[in-house]
Structures are given as C-alpha cells and as structure tokens.
C-alpha cells in the first residue's frame, strides 16, 4: 500500500483505503474499488483527499497503457482525419461548430483517459499530414495548459475550438508555401503572416464563434513585446486564449519533424520557450512546464547506471522522477526486451537521471535505436 497524488492515477489501480473528502468527511469511493477513467475524473475534482492504493507495478501499468494506447491512438487518428476534412484547401465556408465541439470533447476524453499516452502519441507525425496533426496536437496541449490553469468547462471548450482553428487560414495559401523544404521568399512570408486574418475572415461570417474564440485565433502569433503578427499587439492587447495557444503552437512546431529541419528534443523545445520568456505570458509558461514536467515525455535520458532510457510518463508531484523505459544497457547495447521503471518507487530510489541527451550526443543513440 502507498499514498499517491491524484495526478498519478491510472485505470486499473485498486484503492487500498476508503477515500474521504477531508473537508466534509463524506465517503467518495470505497476501498477495494478498481479505478476507471470516470472514477479518476471524479477524484481529480477534490483537492483535500488522501489516496492509498495497492502496489501497482510498472509491468501492470505498462500493460494497462498498452491497452489504452490502441484506443487513444484510434481516437486521436479519427480527430486528425476530421481536421484534414475540415481544413481542405480553398475552404469557402466555416466548419460545422457542432462537429468542432465534438472534436474538442474527443481530445478532452483522450486526455482524461491518459495524458501520458496521448503525449507520447503526439510525437508521431507524418510530413504530409503536418498541418492537420499540428492543429490537433496544439489543441491537446492548449487544453492541458488550460486544465493546469484551472479554466472552467466552458472556457476549456472555447479554448479547444480556438486551438483547433488557429491555422484555419493556412488553407487559403498555396500548398507549396506551408509544405515547403526551402527558404520562403519575402512575398511568401508576408502571405504566411496573413493567415490569422484569413482565419477570422472565413469564420466570422458564420456567426457561430464568439469574439473570445476569434481573438484566440487572430492573436496566436502576437507576442508580448509587440514583435509578433499580424497586428503587432502587445501584452494586455493580446487575447488570453491566444497567449495559451502561442505556447502550445511554438512547442509543437519545435518538436515536429519538417522537410526543412529536424525536430528539437522536448527538453530543448522547453528551453527554447524559456529562453524567449519575454515573448510569452509567464503564468502560462509556468503552467505548461508544470504540466510537461522537468523531463518532458519523449525525452531520451542517460541514467546514473549508464543506461539509456526514454521518458514515458510524468508525476506532477515528483517532477524529477518520471516513468522511464530503459532501451540501452550501460554498454550502449540495445535491449531485446526494454523495461519500464517508475523512479518514484522505493526500489528505484537509487536510480536517477544524470542528463537529457540532445543534439550531437543524441545522434548515435538514435542510430542505435533505429537499427
């Protein structure tokens, strides 16, 4: 039996003690109950609870996540397919708002099922589908930030709509401009900078989107110091949703593989954002880093044992001790059966991350993993 934070709950965990609301004394869930996504969502609504669970081994958690991964991957793929249909080139009318709201609901359900699995999926991108996977992943990241900021359900729905539609205007551009492997001309870059205006022009006509949603779309490339586009707005002039989408947009763009550049590692992408913190809302940046943890999912790390591992899960109450999957032994030989470790467990307390591998140090490791 061990006490855990509600952010570390996953489906299949069995409660070792009754869970009470410490403020009211009322019983929430009885001991012996196996947690489902719905019950986990219920527990996450309470701030003052103590949760004691039966020991849940990394192997069992891995099995649960494998089962969840198939469902989440299928659901995530369907949302991307819908985005592809909605963002067909030369779109003349605004998309169906009910369909968009259903897409936002689907993404929220995926986050509730297991945000760690979903974040792992967000690293799998295909060149030809970049625009569509990007808008879905930005919506996912924006919703995760919004949850961290404790936005209410109505705000989260509107934030999700704005995030899904933030690049809608890109469909007005020539395909070669947004799917290029060369340096854009000055004229092409000026055209790219008009896509937020194009988005709002196409969506405003329908009358189905609030000013708050439209501002989130129009302002997502604006920056606090006035260096953004299309209107060079500053600080308080920029919509709150746009400030959230800006962080999610830059992060996903950084970790995405494009035809003209390699992706950054998740940790390097976070460092990039922090290095430009004067451009972004600090409270939103802090919320994003808290949600993504010190070692973001997808990071390749070297342990003090010399082994090489990938970060596959985060614990918000233990940011320096994530879940990892060990891929290479201390001699840099690929393991035939990679195994998972939860670094918060007592048996693993002597193991810790020494460094995140990036750039030159990461190249030979990735070559070994791809063999």
What pLDDT was estimated at residue 34?
A: 85
93-114: per-residue pLDDT in tens?
Answer: 778 888 899 999 999 988 887 7
Burial of 262 (0-12, 13-18, 19+ CB in 10 A): exposed
**Which pLDDT belongs to residue 346?**
86
**pLDDT level of residue 282 (50, 70, 90 thresholds):** very high
55-59, 279-283, 290-294: which is most confident = 279-283
Boundaries of CATH 1.10.3210.10 in the chain? 58-292
Confidence (pLDDT) at 214: 97
The predicted pLDDT at position 256 comes to 84
Class of domain 2-53: alpha beta
Q: Which of 89, 86, 85 is nearest to 171 (CA)?
A: 89
Q: Do residues 259 and 288 touch, judged by C-beta distance below 8 A?
A: no
* More confident: 371 or 95: 95
Q: Which fold has domain 58-292?
A: Hypothetical protein af1432 (1.10.3210)
Q: Which of 125, 209, 88, 92 has its CA nearest to residue 159?
A: 209
76 pLDDT higher than 90: no
Q: What pLDDT, on a 0 to 100 scale, did the predictor assign at position 179? A: 64
The average confidence (pLDDT) of the chain is: 85
Residues of the chain with CATH 3.90.105.10: 2-53
User: For residue 132, with 0-12 CB atoms within 10 Å meaning exposed, 13-18 middle and 19 or more buried, which class applies?
Assistant: buried
> Which residues, at least 6 apart from 207, have a Cβ–Cβ distance to it below 8 Å?
none
Lowest mean pLDDT among 171-180, 187-196, 356-365: 171-180
> So what's the pLDDT on residue 305?
94
Closest to 160 (Cα-Cα) out of 95, 94, 108: 108
- Give the chain's length: 371
What is the pLDDT at residue 324?
Answer: 93
Burial class (CB in 10 A: 0-12, 13-18, 19+), 59: exposed
The whole-angstrom separation of Cα 191 and Cα 152 is 36
Q: What pLDDT is attached to residue 371? A: 67
**Cis peptide bond prior to 230, omega within 30° of 0:** yes
**pLDDT band, residue 127 (cuts 50/70/90):** very low
Q: What is the pLDDT of residue 122?
A: 63
Contact residues for 254 (Cβ-Cβ < 8 A; gap 6+)? 263, 264, 268, 269, 272
């Amino acid at each position: 039996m061990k006490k855990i934070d509600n952010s570390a709950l996953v489906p299949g965990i069995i409660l070792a003690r009754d869970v009470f609301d410490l403020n009211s004394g009322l019983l929430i869930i009885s001991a012996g109950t196996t947690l489902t996504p719905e019950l986990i969502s219920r527990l996450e609504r309470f701030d003052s609870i103590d949760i004691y669970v039966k020991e849940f081994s990394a192997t069992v958690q891995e099995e649960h996540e494998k089962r969840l991964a198939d469902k989440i991957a299928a659901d995530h793929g369907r949302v991307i397919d819908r985005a592809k249909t909605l963002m067909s080139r030369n779109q003349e009318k605004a998309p169906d708002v009910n369909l968009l709201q259903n897409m936002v609901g689907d993404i929220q359900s995926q986050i509730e099922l297991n945000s760690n699995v979903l974040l792992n999926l967000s690293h799998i991108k295909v060149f030809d589908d970049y625009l569509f996977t990007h808008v879905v992943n930005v919506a996912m990241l924006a919703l995760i930030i919004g949850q961290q900021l404790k936005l209410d359900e109505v705000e989260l729905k509107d934030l999700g709509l704005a995030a899904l539609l933030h690049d809608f205007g890109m469909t007005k551009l020539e395909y070669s401009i947004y799917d290029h492997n060369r340096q854009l001309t000055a004229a092409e870059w000026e055209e790219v900078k008009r896509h937020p205006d194009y988005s709002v022009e196409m969506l405003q006509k329908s009358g189905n989107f609030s000013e708050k949603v439209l501002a989130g779309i129009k302002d997502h490339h604006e920056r606090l110091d006035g260096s953004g586009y299309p209107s060079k707005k500053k600080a308080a002039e920029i919509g709150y949703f746009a400030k959230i989408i800006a962080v999610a947009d830059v992060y996903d763009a950084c970790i995405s593989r494009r035809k003209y550049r390699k992706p950054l590692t998740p940790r390097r992408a976070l460092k990039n954002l922090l290095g430009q913190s004067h451009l972004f809302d600090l409270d939103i940046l802090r919320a994003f880093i808290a949600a993504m943890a010190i070692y973001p999912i997808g990071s390749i790390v070297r342990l003090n044992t010399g082994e090489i591992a990938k970060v596959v899960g985060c614990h918000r109450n233990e940011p320096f001790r994530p879940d990892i999957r060990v891929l290479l032994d201390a001699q840099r030989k690929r393991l035939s059966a990679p195994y998972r470790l939860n670094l918060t467990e007592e048996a693993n307390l002597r193991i810790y991350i020494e460094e995140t591998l990036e750039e030159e140090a990461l190249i030979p490791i990735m070559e070994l993993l791809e063999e």
